[in-house]
Amino acid sequence: MPTLNSVPVRVGSRVLSTGSYRPDQIVTNDDVAGLIDSSDEWIRERSGIVERRRCAPGESVTDMAVAAGAKAIAKSGIAPELISMVLVATVTHPYQTPAAAPEVAFRLGAINAAGADLGAACAGFCYSLGLADSMIRSGAAEYVLVIGVEKFTDFVSPTDRGTAFIFGDGAGAALVGPSDHTGVGPTLWGADGEQKDLITMSQSWSEYRLEPRDEFPYVQMSGQQVFRWAVSEVPKIAMRTLEASGVTVNDLTAFIPHQANMRITDAVVRALKLPEHVVVGRDIETTGNTSAASIPLALDRLRQADQLPSGGLALLIGFGAGLVYASQVIELP
Protein backbone atom coordinates (compact mmCIF):
# COMPACT_ATOMS: atom_id res chain seq x y z
CA MET A 1 0.00 0.00 0.00
CA PRO A 2 1.36 3.50 -0.82
CA THR A 3 1.77 5.83 2.16
CA LEU A 4 0.59 9.43 2.13
CA ASN A 5 2.97 12.33 2.62
CA SER A 6 2.58 14.07 5.95
CA VAL A 7 3.18 17.74 6.63
CA PRO A 8 5.81 18.82 9.16
CA VAL A 9 4.68 19.32 12.74
CA ARG A 10 5.70 22.58 14.45
CA VAL A 11 6.45 23.22 18.10
CA GLY A 12 4.14 26.17 18.49
CA SER A 13 2.42 29.25 17.18
CA ARG A 14 2.15 32.78 18.50
CA VAL A 15 0.24 36.00 17.92
CA LEU A 16 2.59 38.21 15.88
CA SER A 17 0.50 41.38 15.77
CA THR A 18 -2.96 42.82 16.34
CA GLY A 19 -5.15 45.44 14.66
CA SER A 20 -8.56 46.95 15.23
CA TYR A 21 -11.24 49.11 13.71
CA ARG A 22 -13.86 51.20 15.52
CA PRO A 23 -16.51 52.99 13.46
CA ASP A 24 -16.53 56.78 13.88
CA GLN A 25 -20.11 57.25 15.07
CA ILE A 26 -20.44 57.30 18.88
CA VAL A 27 -23.83 56.32 20.30
CA THR A 28 -24.40 57.48 23.88
CA ASN A 29 -26.69 55.89 26.46
CA ASP A 30 -29.05 58.86 26.08
CA ASP A 31 -29.25 58.08 22.35
CA VAL A 32 -30.61 54.56 23.04
CA ALA A 33 -32.47 55.06 26.34
CA GLY A 34 -35.56 56.82 24.97
CA LEU A 35 -36.89 53.90 22.94
CA ILE A 36 -36.48 51.39 25.81
CA ASP A 37 -37.70 53.49 28.75
CA SER A 38 -34.23 53.43 30.29
CA SER A 39 -31.64 55.97 31.40
CA ASP A 40 -27.92 56.69 31.20
CA GLU A 41 -27.68 55.99 34.94
CA TRP A 42 -29.39 52.55 34.73
CA ILE A 43 -27.31 51.42 31.75
CA ARG A 44 -24.01 52.51 33.36
CA GLU A 45 -24.86 50.86 36.65
CA ARG A 46 -26.21 47.55 35.26
CA SER A 47 -23.74 47.06 32.39
CA GLY A 48 -20.79 49.48 32.75
CA ILE A 49 -21.47 50.78 29.24
CA VAL A 50 -21.17 54.53 28.63
CA GLU A 51 -21.16 54.53 24.83
CA ARG A 52 -20.79 52.22 21.84
CA ARG A 53 -19.82 52.62 18.18
CA ARG A 54 -22.11 52.35 15.16
CA CYS A 55 -21.27 51.82 11.49
CA ALA A 56 -21.96 54.57 8.97
CA PRO A 57 -24.73 53.78 6.46
CA GLY A 58 -23.26 51.46 3.85
CA GLU A 59 -20.32 50.41 6.05
CA SER A 60 -20.26 46.62 6.20
CA VAL A 61 -18.91 43.69 8.19
CA THR A 62 -16.36 43.05 5.44
CA ASP A 63 -15.28 46.74 5.38
CA MET A 64 -14.55 46.62 9.11
CA ALA A 65 -12.82 43.23 8.87
CA VAL A 66 -10.56 44.51 6.07
CA ALA A 67 -9.69 47.66 8.05
CA ALA A 68 -8.70 45.68 11.18
CA GLY A 69 -6.97 42.90 9.22
CA ALA A 70 -4.89 45.39 7.19
CA LYS A 71 -3.52 46.94 10.38
CA ALA A 72 -2.57 43.54 11.84
CA ILE A 73 -0.83 42.54 8.60
CA ALA A 74 1.04 45.86 8.33
CA LYS A 75 2.29 45.61 11.92
CA SER A 76 3.48 42.01 11.45
CA GLY A 77 5.64 42.82 8.42
CA ILE A 78 4.40 39.56 6.84
CA ALA A 79 3.49 39.77 3.15
CA PRO A 80 -0.25 39.07 2.64
CA GLU A 81 0.63 36.45 0.00
CA LEU A 82 2.14 34.29 2.78
CA ILE A 83 -1.13 34.01 4.68
CA SER A 84 -2.54 30.47 4.36
CA MET A 85 -5.93 31.01 5.98
CA VAL A 86 -8.26 33.87 6.84
CA LEU A 87 -10.77 33.00 9.57
CA VAL A 88 -13.56 35.51 10.13
CA ALA A 89 -15.46 35.01 13.39
CA THR A 90 -18.85 36.71 13.10
CA VAL A 91 -22.58 36.22 13.59
CA THR A 92 -23.66 39.42 11.86
CA HIS A 93 -22.46 39.05 8.26
CA PRO A 94 -25.81 39.65 6.56
CA TYR A 95 -25.38 37.13 3.74
CA GLN A 96 -26.31 33.46 4.07
CA THR A 97 -23.73 32.93 1.33
CA PRO A 98 -20.98 33.65 0.40
CA ALA A 99 -19.04 33.86 3.64
CA ALA A 100 -17.21 37.08 4.51
CA ALA A 101 -13.71 35.55 4.62
CA PRO A 102 -13.07 34.98 0.89
CA GLU A 103 -13.91 38.63 0.11
CA VAL A 104 -11.86 39.84 3.08
CA ALA A 105 -8.86 37.74 2.00
CA PHE A 106 -9.13 39.04 -1.57
CA ARG A 107 -9.36 42.69 -0.50
CA LEU A 108 -6.34 42.25 1.79
CA GLY A 109 -4.21 40.76 -0.98
CA ALA A 110 -4.09 37.37 0.75
CA ILE A 111 -4.37 35.74 -2.65
CA ASN A 112 -3.02 32.36 -1.54
CA ALA A 113 -5.26 32.05 1.50
CA ALA A 114 -8.19 29.75 2.16
CA GLY A 115 -11.06 31.58 3.80
CA ALA A 116 -13.96 30.59 6.05
CA ASP A 117 -16.31 32.18 8.57
CA LEU A 118 -16.75 30.81 12.06
CA GLY A 119 -20.01 31.21 13.99
CA ALA A 120 -19.34 30.86 17.70
CA ALA A 121 -20.83 34.19 18.80
CA CYS A 122 -18.87 35.87 21.58
CA ALA A 123 -16.45 32.93 21.76
CA GLY A 124 -15.72 33.20 18.02
CA PHE A 125 -12.33 34.90 18.33
CA CYS A 126 -10.97 32.37 20.87
CA TYR A 127 -12.42 29.46 18.85
CA SER A 128 -10.66 30.80 15.74
CA LEU A 129 -7.41 31.38 17.61
CA GLY A 130 -7.53 27.77 18.84
CA LEU A 131 -8.03 26.56 15.28
CA ALA A 132 -5.25 28.82 13.96
CA ASP A 133 -2.85 27.43 16.56
CA SER A 134 -3.79 23.83 15.69
CA MET A 135 -3.44 24.47 11.95
CA ILE A 136 -0.03 26.08 12.32
CA ARG A 137 1.32 23.39 14.68
CA SER A 138 0.06 20.59 12.42
CA GLY A 139 1.66 22.18 9.37
CA ALA A 140 -1.71 22.74 7.67
CA ALA A 141 -1.06 26.51 7.65
CA GLU A 142 1.88 28.90 7.92
CA TYR A 143 0.26 32.21 8.80
CA VAL A 144 -3.39 32.56 9.81
CA LEU A 145 -5.25 35.87 9.99
CA VAL A 146 -7.95 35.69 12.68
CA ILE A 147 -10.58 38.43 12.62
CA GLY A 148 -13.51 38.98 15.00
CA VAL A 149 -16.06 41.37 13.53
CA GLU A 150 -19.66 42.32 14.26
CA LYS A 151 -22.19 44.83 13.01
CA PHE A 152 -24.95 44.44 15.56
CA THR A 153 -26.68 47.56 14.27
CA ASP A 154 -28.25 45.26 11.66
CA PHE A 155 -29.49 42.62 14.14
CA VAL A 156 -30.56 44.51 17.25
CA SER A 157 -34.03 45.93 17.69
CA PRO A 158 -33.78 49.52 19.00
CA THR A 159 -36.94 48.83 21.06
CA ASP A 160 -35.79 45.57 22.69
CA ARG A 161 -35.14 46.49 26.32
CA GLY A 162 -32.82 43.57 27.03
CA THR A 163 -30.34 44.14 24.20
CA ALA A 164 -30.67 47.58 22.54
CA PHE A 165 -28.16 49.22 24.92
CA ILE A 166 -25.65 46.35 25.01
CA PHE A 167 -24.39 45.67 21.52
CA GLY A 168 -22.06 47.68 19.26
CA ASP A 169 -20.13 47.47 16.00
CA GLY A 170 -16.38 46.91 15.46
CA ALA A 171 -13.59 44.59 14.38
CA GLY A 172 -10.34 43.24 15.81
CA ALA A 173 -7.68 41.05 14.22
CA ALA A 174 -4.61 39.00 15.07
CA LEU A 175 -1.99 37.57 12.74
CA VAL A 176 -0.84 34.19 14.04
CA GLY A 177 2.34 32.50 12.82
CA PRO A 178 4.85 29.72 13.56
CA SER A 179 6.98 29.87 16.72
CA ASP A 180 9.87 27.86 18.18
CA HIS A 181 8.04 27.79 21.53
CA THR A 182 4.43 27.73 22.73
CA GLY A 183 2.95 31.20 22.24
CA VAL A 184 -0.69 30.03 22.30
CA GLY A 185 -1.45 27.67 25.16
CA PRO A 186 -3.97 24.82 25.00
CA THR A 187 -7.46 25.99 24.04
CA LEU A 188 -10.19 24.95 26.41
CA TRP A 189 -13.50 25.02 24.60
CA GLY A 190 -16.99 23.65 24.88
CA ALA A 191 -20.66 24.02 24.04
CA ASP A 192 -23.96 23.50 25.84
CA GLY A 193 -26.70 23.40 23.22
CA GLU A 194 -29.34 22.60 25.82
CA GLN A 195 -29.20 26.33 26.63
CA LYS A 196 -29.48 27.46 23.00
CA ASP A 197 -32.59 29.56 23.63
CA LEU A 198 -30.92 31.89 26.14
CA ILE A 199 -29.48 34.07 23.34
CA THR A 200 -31.17 33.57 19.98
CA MET A 201 -32.88 35.29 17.06
CA SER A 202 -36.50 36.42 17.38
CA GLN A 203 -37.37 34.37 14.26
CA SER A 204 -35.49 32.07 11.88
CA TRP A 205 -35.17 33.24 8.27
CA SER A 206 -37.62 30.51 7.19
CA GLU A 207 -40.21 31.52 9.82
CA TYR A 208 -39.76 35.13 8.80
CA ARG A 209 -40.30 34.24 5.16
CA LEU A 210 -43.53 32.35 5.89
CA GLU A 211 -44.94 34.70 8.50
CA PRO A 212 -42.98 37.88 9.33
CA ARG A 213 -43.66 38.69 12.97
CA ASP A 214 -41.05 41.39 13.41
CA GLU A 215 -39.67 44.09 11.20
CA PHE A 216 -36.58 41.89 10.87
CA PRO A 217 -35.21 38.94 12.91
CA TYR A 218 -33.22 40.38 15.84
CA VAL A 219 -31.15 39.11 18.78
CA GLN A 220 -33.03 38.31 21.99
CA MET A 221 -31.49 37.38 25.31
CA SER A 222 -32.54 36.03 28.69
CA GLY A 223 -30.18 38.47 30.37
CA GLN A 224 -30.50 37.33 33.96
CA GLN A 225 -29.94 33.65 33.16
CA VAL A 226 -26.96 34.43 30.92
CA PHE A 227 -25.55 36.62 33.68
CA ARG A 228 -25.89 33.87 36.29
CA TRP A 229 -24.36 31.25 33.96
CA ALA A 230 -21.39 33.49 33.13
CA VAL A 231 -20.64 34.44 36.72
CA SER A 232 -20.74 30.83 37.86
CA GLU A 233 -19.02 29.08 34.90
CA VAL A 234 -16.45 31.55 33.49
CA PRO A 235 -14.17 31.49 36.58
CA LYS A 236 -14.12 27.66 36.48
CA ILE A 237 -13.26 27.63 32.77
CA ALA A 238 -10.55 30.24 33.36
CA MET A 239 -8.98 28.19 36.17
CA ARG A 240 -8.97 25.05 34.00
CA THR A 241 -7.30 27.00 31.19
CA LEU A 242 -4.54 28.26 33.48
CA GLU A 243 -4.02 24.73 34.78
CA ALA A 244 -3.84 23.29 31.24
CA SER A 245 -1.19 25.92 30.40
CA GLY A 246 0.80 25.20 33.56
CA VAL A 247 0.58 28.76 34.93
CA THR A 248 -1.23 30.58 37.74
CA VAL A 249 -2.89 33.98 38.04
CA ASN A 250 0.39 35.32 39.44
CA ASP A 251 2.10 34.63 36.09
CA LEU A 252 -0.40 36.73 34.13
CA THR A 253 0.24 40.19 32.71
CA ALA A 254 -3.33 40.62 31.50
CA PHE A 255 -6.83 39.20 31.69
CA ILE A 256 -8.93 39.96 28.63
CA PRO A 257 -12.38 38.42 28.89
CA HIS A 258 -15.21 38.81 26.40
CA GLN A 259 -16.75 42.24 27.05
CA ALA A 260 -20.28 41.12 27.94
CA ASN A 261 -21.03 43.25 30.97
CA MET A 262 -18.66 45.10 33.34
CA ARG A 263 -20.34 43.41 36.31
CA ILE A 264 -19.55 39.98 34.86
CA THR A 265 -15.89 41.02 34.40
CA ASP A 266 -15.76 42.35 37.99
CA ALA A 267 -17.28 39.14 39.37
CA VAL A 268 -14.82 36.93 37.46
CA VAL A 269 -11.84 39.09 38.54
CA ARG A 270 -12.97 38.66 42.17
CA ALA A 271 -13.55 34.91 41.82
CA LEU A 272 -10.10 34.39 40.24
CA LYS A 273 -8.46 36.54 42.95
CA LEU A 274 -6.41 38.28 40.28
CA PRO A 275 -3.35 40.06 41.71
CA GLU A 276 -3.24 43.86 41.42
CA HIS A 277 -0.55 43.81 38.72
CA VAL A 278 -2.81 42.00 36.21
CA VAL A 279 -4.21 44.45 33.63
CA VAL A 280 -7.91 43.77 33.02
CA GLY A 281 -9.63 44.46 29.67
CA ARG A 282 -12.53 46.87 30.31
CA ASP A 283 -13.15 48.06 26.79
CA ILE A 284 -16.93 47.60 27.15
CA GLU A 285 -17.21 51.06 28.72
CA THR A 286 -16.69 52.83 25.38
CA THR A 287 -17.30 50.01 22.90
CA GLY A 288 -20.31 48.08 24.21
CA ASN A 289 -20.51 44.33 23.64
CA THR A 290 -19.14 43.54 20.17
CA SER A 291 -19.37 39.74 20.51
CA ALA A 292 -16.62 38.07 18.42
CA ALA A 293 -14.78 41.40 18.08
CA SER A 294 -14.68 42.29 21.77
CA ILE A 295 -11.52 40.43 22.82
CA PRO A 296 -9.26 41.53 19.94
CA LEU A 297 -10.60 45.11 20.27
CA ALA A 298 -9.78 45.16 23.99
CA LEU A 299 -6.40 43.52 23.39
CA ASP A 300 -5.42 45.99 20.68
CA ARG A 301 -6.52 49.01 22.72
CA LEU A 302 -4.41 47.93 25.72
CA ARG A 303 -1.43 47.31 23.44
CA GLN A 304 -1.81 50.73 21.84
CA ALA A 305 -1.87 52.26 25.33
CA ASP A 306 1.45 50.49 26.03
CA GLN A 307 -0.10 48.61 28.93
CA LEU A 308 0.93 45.16 27.74
CA PRO A 309 4.67 44.43 27.59
CA SER A 310 5.65 42.07 24.79
CA GLY A 311 6.32 38.54 26.03
CA GLY A 312 3.88 38.78 28.96
CA LEU A 313 1.03 36.30 29.29
CA ALA A 314 -2.64 37.15 28.74
CA LEU A 315 -5.61 34.96 29.63
CA LEU A 316 -8.39 35.26 27.03
CA ILE A 317 -11.88 33.87 27.50
CA GLY A 318 -14.87 34.14 25.19
CA PHE A 319 -18.41 32.97 26.05
CA GLY A 320 -21.87 33.49 24.68
CA ALA A 321 -24.74 32.33 22.48
CA GLY A 322 -24.91 28.60 21.95
CA LEU A 323 -24.04 28.49 24.76
CA VAL A 324 -20.35 28.24 23.84
CA TYR A 325 -17.02 29.12 25.40
CA ALA A 326 -13.32 29.05 24.48
CA SER A 327 -10.27 30.16 26.40
CA GLN A 328 -6.47 30.16 26.14
CA VAL A 329 -3.36 31.82 27.55
CA ILE A 330 -1.30 33.65 24.93
CA GLU A 331 2.13 35.23 24.86
CA LEU A 332 1.66 38.92 24.06
CA PRO A 333 3.20 40.10 20.78
46 contacts ligand COA (rule: CB under 6 A): yes
**Which candidate in 29, 93, 126, 289 is catalytic?**
289
326 contacts ligand COA (rule: CB under 6 A): no
200 contacts ligand COA (rule: CB under 6 A): no
Kindly tell me which residue out of 172, 235, 320, 322 binds ligand COA, with binding defined by CB under 6 A. 320
Please say which residue, 42 or 208, places its beta carbon nearer to ligand COA: 42
Nearest Cα residue to 324 out of 292, 285, 301: 292
**Which candidate in 122, 126, 250, 261 is catalytic?**
122
Q: What is the rounded end-to-end Cα distance, in angstroms, of the chain?
A: 45
Please say which residue, 36 or 330, places its beta carbon nearer to ligand COA: 36
Question: Binding pattern to ligand COA, positions 135-174, x when CB under 6 A?
Answer: --------------------------xx--x---------
Site residues for ligand COA, 204-243, by CB under 6 A, read 221, 223-224, 226-227, 230
Please say which residue, 41 or 207, places its beta carbon nearer to ligand COA: 41
Which residue's CB atom is positioned nearest to ligand COA? 223
Q: How would you write the chain as a 3-class SS string?
A: CCCCCCCCCCCEEEEEEEEEECCCEEEEHHHHHHHHCCCHHHHHHHHCCCEEEECCCCCCHHHHHHHHHHHHHHHHCCCHHHEEEEEEECCCCCCCCCCHHHHHHHHCCCCCCEEEEECCHHHHHHHHHHHHHHHHHHCCCCEEEEEEEEEHHHCCCCCCCCCCCCECEEEEEEEEEEECCCCECCCEEEECHHHHHHEEECCCHHHHHHCCCCCCCCEEECHHHHHHHHHHHHHHHHHHHHHHHCCCHHHCCEEEECCCCHHHHHHHHHHHCCCCCCEECCCHHHHCECHHHHHHHHHHHHHHCCCCCCCCEEEEEEEECCCEEEEEEEECC
Please say which residue, 296 or 320, places its beta carbon nearer to ligand COA: 320
User: Rounded to 5 degrees, what are φ and ψ at 267?
Assistant: -65, -40
The answer to whether 122 is a known catalytic residue is yes
260 contacts ligand COA (rule: CB under 6 A): yes
The answer to whether 5 is a known catalytic residue is no
Neighbours of 155 (CB within 10 A): 19
Please say which residue, 104 or 221, places its beta carbon nearer to ligand COA: 221
Kindly tell me which residue out of 15, 16, 18, 36 binds ligand COA, with binding defined by CB under 6 A. 36
Site residues for ligand COA, 5-34, by CB under 6 A, read none
Number of residues that bind ligand COA (CB under 6 A): 20
Angle between helices 124-138 and 294-304 (to 10 degrees): 80
Q: Residue 60 in contact with residue 89, Cβ under 8 Å?
A: no
**Which candidate in 93, 126, 258, 261 is catalytic?**
258
Minimal distance, residue 267 CB to ligand COA, in Å: 11
The answer to whether 55 is a known catalytic residue is no
Neighbours of 231 (CB within 10 A): 17
Please say which residue, 33 or 239, places its beta carbon nearer to ligand COA: 33
Kindly tell me which residue out of 13, 17, 29, 47 binds ligand COA, with binding defined by CB under 6 A. 47
Site residues for ligand COA, 50-109, by CB under 6 A, read none
Minimal distance, residue 212 CB to ligand COA, in Å: 25
Please say which residue, 143 or 167, places its beta carbon nearer to ligand COA: 167
Just list the catalytic residues.
122, 258, 289
Residues that bind ligand COA (CB under 6 A): 36, 38, 42, 46-47, 122, 161-162, 165, 221, 223-224, 226-227, 230, 260-261, 264, 289, 320
